[in-house]
Amino acid sequence: MSSPTYIGRFAPSPTGPLHVGSLVAALASWLDARAAGGRWLVRMEDLDRPRCEPGADDTILRQLEAYGLLWDGTVLYQSRRDDAYAAALAALRSQGAVFACTCTRSQLAQAPRNAEGEIVYPGTCRLHPFPNLAPHAWRVRTVDASTHFVDRVHGALRQDLADEVGDFVVKRADGLFAYQLAVVVDDAFQGVTHVVRGADLLWNTPRQIYLQGLLGLPTPAYAHVPLVTNAAGQKLSKQTLAPALPERGRRMVLAQALAALGHPPPAELVGAGPGELLGWAVGEWRIKNVPLHPTIANATQAPDNQPLAPSP
């Protein structure tokens, strides 16, 4: 049962308090780690400083504690990791894997988009000489970069990076390192062996595997769990005005989150506290029982409302 080589993590962006959707992702990651006898780390993805909300990191940690999702070790902050990201960029530069890009947002507005709605970079700056003065981003070349990977929930998947993503940004023109680079550097730094996170990041995974290959870093196992959406089918987020996790009624919210992950607590656990529910769930956790499809949160205001219902 015990696997000492398992290290998992939850990596929220401290842009606001956790909501039901982020709880589901945290819970899946925590359960997978605890069921494997592994460690579970928390990393604050506060790379995009302007988007972060002061104090949100403390709020998130208090919420995790309140829901019984206790982490191991100290919390890593991406905002303190610029030196590590700079070293990774230097390694990519030394092998000619990146190039400077001076394209502006408006210049790229006409570029084609992929199924996720992201711009597929048309390669404009690939052959440009290095622009010494203009502000520029750094993009990684994606020539012939078809990536296969096996997701523990979604099965075998394939993405052609060159066709479906194009050369992607590893450092932005405003000087901030890109999420794709930071997450790869940090997962390796923290020794993460298993990534369990929301399905909104499923199609980011090939970019991360590609960077791991270029940087000589190990590739963790990946599992992408279903998102919780609102009645309009939108992912719960600050942008879609998802309410923060309630302070009261945690037992009901946890039971709903477990149901969203394909592990509805049995009738005899009705009335059980969070600790008892989590103990039961660790024993019952099977990643193969996690559904592919998102659930709809219809109980986001009143925790004693109806449970989360599967989407049609």
Closest alpha carbon to 264 in 199, 312, 308: 308
Two tokens, residue 204:
């980011």
Residues 106-125 that bind Zn ion (CB under 5 A): 124-125
Cβ atoms within 10 A of the Cβ of 235, count? 16
* For Zn ion, the closer CB: 161 or 202: 161
CB of 140 to Zn ion, least distance (A): 13
Name the phi and psi angles at 280, rounded to 5: -60, -45
Task: Tell me, residue by residue from 50 to 89, as one string, x for binding to Zn ion by CB under 5 A and - for no binding.
Answer: ----------------------------------------
98 lines the binding site for Zn ion (CB under 5 A): no
CB of 170 to Zn ion, least distance (A): 13
Closest alpha carbon to 312 in 233, 199, 202: 233
CB of 294 to Zn ion, least distance (A): 35
Burial of 300 (0-12, 13-18, 19+ CB in 10 A): buried
User: How many chain residues touch Zn ion (CB under 5 A)?
Assistant: 4
The CA distance from 226 to 261, in Å, is: 8
CB of 161 to Zn ion, least distance (A): 17
CB of 103 to Zn ion, least distance (A): 3
Burial of 84 (0-12, 13-18, 19+ CB in 10 A): middle
Residues 124-143 that bind Zn ion (CB under 5 A): 124-125
Which residue in the set 60, 101, 182, 259 belongs to the binding site for Zn ion (CB under 5 A)?
101
CB of 250 to Zn ion, least distance (A): 48
103 lines the binding site for Zn ion (CB under 5 A): yes
* For Zn ion, the closer CB: 128 or 235: 128
Residues 252-281 that bind Zn ion (CB under 5 A): none
The CA distance from 78 to 168, in Å, is: 20
* For Zn ion, the closer CB: 103 or 225: 103
39 Ramachandran zone, left/alpha/beta (phi>0; psi -120 to 50): beta
Two tokens, residue 256:
């709903």
Which residues bind to Zn ion, rule: CB under 5 A? Answer: 101, 103, 124-125
